[in-house]
Amino acid sequence: MTALLSKRSLPTLNRGGGGVFDVCSVCNHNVGWCVCVCFSADSRLRLYRLAAVCLGVLCVLQVILNISLRLAFYNRGNVTVEKDLLQTSYNTLTKERDQLQTSYNILTKERDQLQKERDDVMTKFSNLKQTCPEGWQIKLGSSWYFLSTETKTWKESRQDCLKRGADLVIINSDLEQEFLLSFNKRAWIGLTDSVTEGTWKWVDGTPLTTPSYWYSQQPDNGRDNPKYGEEDCVELNTESWLPVKAWNDQSCLLNRYWICEKVV
């Protein structure tokens, strides 16, 4: 198959006064036909303009696409950073919440323990209050104290305490000493050296070690003066202005108030 393309310009050929046309002939001699296509110069110009406009539009679209992609990547980066910050904040808050929960659990446990101890103390106090005879006073939550309203000898005083299911008081601390002295009574306590002179023992048989609260220059055993006799029993001396210096040895035959102690 052989095709022949020829082009010639016909300046005098017009179509409807539209201008000069180019005539293009395409012929196939094997089959005996020719095709003529004619374009005016104005038509070609319009085609060029259309192509230019399309190219411009494509460029604008390309620019818009590039900007959109850049913004998308930028926003994606910012979102990632913000996500990481939020995750860090979340982890921190979660840790603080767990710490607060732990502290709360500890405080709750301590509160429950304190409540239980308080209830136990109140129960014991209530029971003691119900069983405590008239005239007894509670001290430090562990002992009952009875202060007599009459006077007796040391031996008679102890017998009265024993009848009450108690004994003459044994002093174990400064606080207890100050408490007993606040009764403001010259009263017998459970300390004596009647078995061995100079060896002071409490009524339960334990020796006096510390603390001791002797008044100034006491014990003196009556300065060995027959007028005073043997001073083998101890009283609280209310004339002392120091609570921790208020013990005085006296004759066990003198009448004094007395203090009984019942340990519960």
Do 140 and 250 lie in one domain? The reply is yes
Domain membership flag for residue 54: no
Does residue 171 contact residue 177 with C-beta atoms inside 8 Å? yes
Domain membership flag for residue 68: no
pLDDT in tens, 81-106: 778 888 888 888 888 889 889 989 99
Select the more confidently predicted residue: 27 or 241. 241
Q: Which residue range forms the structural domain that includes residue 193? A: 136-263
Do 142 and 250 lie in one domain? The reply is yes
Alpha helices in the chain (DSSP H): 41-131, 154-163, 174-181
Do 26 and 140 lie in one domain? The reply is no
pLDDT of residue 18: 46
**Domains held by the chain: number:** 2
Which CATH number does the domain housing residue 195 bear?
A: 3.10.100.10
Q: Is 208 helix (H, G, I), strand (E, B) or coil?
A: coil
pLDDT of residue 31: 54
Any residues with CB less than 8 A from the CB of 255 and at least 6 apart, and which? 151, 152, 153
Q: Is 242 helix (H, G, I), strand (E, B) or coil?
A: coil
Single pTM value for the model: 0.50
Query: What confidence tier does 30 reach under pLDDT thresholds 50, 70, 90?
Result: low
Enter the tokens of residue 148: 């007599």
Q: What is the mean pLDDT of residues 122-143?
A: 68
